[in-house]
């Protein structure tokens, strides 16, 4: 992020100390993932990196003056205050313009899933007759099964308001922890176990910067283009997709999950487009293929080269993590696997 990289090596320690640090790190990650604290972990890393970057930028503003410890300390305090207060300011601004959006988001997505279920059931009616005739006879049963699945998920989301707000609270608390950790006074010396734990956390932070930060910008890139397409391009053709704000938000959130998130976005937006007209569905599908081809190139360059992870590796890890931990495992799998590969590479095992 334009600041010196943190050191990723430490003096050698006895085998028992290293094993203890590995066990503590693995146990902490397991507990965070198993108890629904993944948003807090991700935003703690984000808060740490952003605070460090802002502090470095603030310190550079006074580069005409000698960079004294006092000046650096004030830069860190200002950066931490900005990181901690900015979400509150954005929240107040957002609520003043779109009151109730955050608290009503689960209900909006329930309505979206119900809408998708109805679209699936009416698939033969939406398609041109010559194309609908090509569907196999068993397609109706598949449609009913898929619609039932979507309806079940909609019922789950109907009671997800508390979990939604809880996740936002965990994310903000994690942001506070990360900002405060970034400006903590640096101890002059560490015991062997503390040194090894610092090394583990530093490598995890490097994995976060490489995977999540890159995926964040890719998701933001997709979201901006999708918003322009749904709100600007389609209306020029007199095509208006329902639930456009929810679809734009879904594009960003799902875009944070490599590969699988793109498939989810493609399927949902194309189905919503099909509910309007076959032409809208074709336009949506063509647009999504275009931007995700561009994203594939970016992902391969930015993420693949830095972490030395292949697509098959990501898919396998995400499949196993989703089966064990659910959606949280799907999100955490690329980050945790990138960290694991860093540790294995440092130990010269891969």
Name the band, by pLDDT with cuts 50, 70 and 90, for residue 102.
low
Q: What is the pLDDT of residue 243?
A: 77
Summarize the confidence of residues 227-254 as an average pLDDT.
Answer: 83
pLDDT tops 60 at residue 347 = yes
pLDDT tops 50 at residue 5 = no
Q: What digits encode the pLDDT tens for the residues 285-315?
A: 888 777 766 665 665 555 656 666 776 787 7
Summarize the confidence of residues 201-213 as an average pLDDT.
Answer: 85
User: In terms of pLDDT, which residue wins out, 206 or 168?
Assistant: 206
For tokens 């696997």, the residue is: 337
Taking alpha carbons only, the member of 250, 257, 240, 219 closest to residue 333 is 257
Q: What digits encode the pLDDT tens for the residues 181-190?
A: 988 876 666 7
For tokens 């003096």, the residue is: 11
Taking alpha carbons only, the member of 178, 3, 2, 165 closest to residue 84 is 178
Which positions ≥6 away from 199 have C-beta within 8 Å? 8, 9, 10, 21
Length of the chain equals: 350
Question: What b/e sequence results for 108-126 when a residue is b if at least 16 CB atoms lie within 10 Å of its CB, and e otherwise?
Answer: ebbbbbbbbbebbbebeeb
Token duo for residue 185: 């006074």
Q: What is the DSSP-derived secondary structure letter of residue 332?
A: H
Residue 259 near residue 315 (C-beta atoms within 8 A): yes
Q: What is the pLDDT of residue 26?
A: 92
Name the band, by pLDDT with cuts 50, 70 and 90, for residue 91.
confident
Token duo for residue 321: 């993590």
Please give the model's pTM, rounded to 2 decimal places.
0.67
Residue 142 near residue 201 (C-beta atoms within 8 A): no
pLDDT tops 60 at residue 2 = no
Q: What is the pLDDT of residue 4?
A: 44
Q: From CA 270, how far away is CA 146, in angstroms rounded?
A: 15
Q: From CA 182, how far away is CA 47, in angstroms rounded?
A: 8
């Amino acid at each position: 992020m334009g600041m010196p990289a943190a050191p990723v090596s430490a003096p050698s320690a006895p085998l028992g100390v290293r094993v203890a640090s590995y066990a503590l790190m693995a146990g902490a990650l397991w507990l965070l993932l198993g108890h629904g604290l993944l948003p807090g972990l991700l935003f703690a890393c984000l808060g740490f990196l952003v605070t460090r970057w802002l502090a470095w930028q603030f310190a550079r503003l006074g580069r005409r003056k000698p960079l004294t410890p006092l000046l650096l300390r004030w830069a860190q305090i200002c950066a931490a205050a900005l990181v901690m207060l900015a979400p509150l300011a954005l929240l107040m601004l957002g609520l003043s313009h779109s009151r109730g959006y955050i608290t009503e988001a689960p209900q909006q997505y329930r309505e979206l899933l119900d809408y998708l279920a109805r679209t699936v059931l009416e698939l033969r009616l939406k398609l041109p007759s010559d194309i609908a005739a090509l569907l196999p006879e068993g397609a109706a049963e598949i449609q009913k099964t898929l619609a039932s699945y979507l309806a079940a998920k909609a019922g789950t989301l109907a009671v997800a308001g508390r979990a939604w707000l809880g996740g936002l609270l965990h994310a903000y608390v994690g942001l506070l922890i990360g900002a405060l950790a970034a400006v903590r006074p640096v101890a002059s010396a560490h015991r062997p176990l503390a040194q090894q734990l610092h090394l583990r956390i530093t490598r995890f932070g490097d994995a976060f910067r490489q995977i999540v930060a890159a995926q964040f910008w890719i998701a933001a890139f997709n979201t901006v283009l999708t918003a322009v397409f749904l709100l600007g391009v389609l209306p020029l053709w007199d095509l208006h997709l329902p639930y456009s704000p929810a679809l734009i938000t879904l594009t960003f959130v799902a875009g944070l999950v490599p590969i699988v998130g793109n498939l989810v976005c493609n399927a949902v937006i194309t189905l919503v487009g099909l509910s309007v007209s076959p032409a809208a569905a074709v336009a949506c599908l063509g647009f999504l293929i275009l931007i995700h081809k561009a994203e594939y190139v970016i992902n391969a360059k930015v993420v693949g080269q830095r972490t030395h992870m292949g697509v098959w590796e990501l898919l396998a890890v995400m499949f196993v993590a989703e089966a064990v931990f659910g959606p949280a495992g799907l999100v955490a799998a690329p980050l945790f696997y990138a960290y694991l590969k860093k540790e294995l590479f440092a130990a010269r095992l891969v």
